[in-house]
Amino acid sequence: MAFQNKNLSVIAYANGFTLWHYAGAEALATISAGGYFNNVSSLMNTGDIVIINAGDTTGMRKITATSPNVTAAAV
């Protein structure tokens, strides 16, 4: 399944940093793949953190955003 806006939420925001939460049925590797979050590239900033509850496990990823591309790498 592709990215779903309804599954992304802000946990905290301060000084240009956002802590996100995303829940999806896909595997963590799929959600973490480059481009998965491109639909919200205007919302995410480099250095943001996303907590991902994936279909197979839970993980944290650091965002690198160079509009329109978003990548999520292991913290």
Q: What is the pLDDT of residues 41-57, one digit of tens each?
A: 999 999 999 999 999 99
Q: Which residues are within 8 A (CB) of 58 and not within 5 positions of it... i.e. 6 or more apart?
A: 28, 51, 52
State the pLDDT confidence band at 67, using cuts at 50, 70 and 90. Answer: confident
pLDDT at 37: 97
**SS3 letters for the chain?**
CCCCHHHEEEEEEECCEEEEEEECCCCHHHHHCCCCCHHHCCCCCCCCEEEEECCCCEEEEEEEEECCEEEEEEC
pLDDT at 66: 92
Pairing state between β 49-53 and 8-14: unpaired
Per-residue model confidence as pLDDT tens digits over 23-41: 999 999 999 999 999 999 9
Residue bearing the bigger pLDDT, 28 or 1: 28
Q: pTM for the whole thing?
A: 0.94
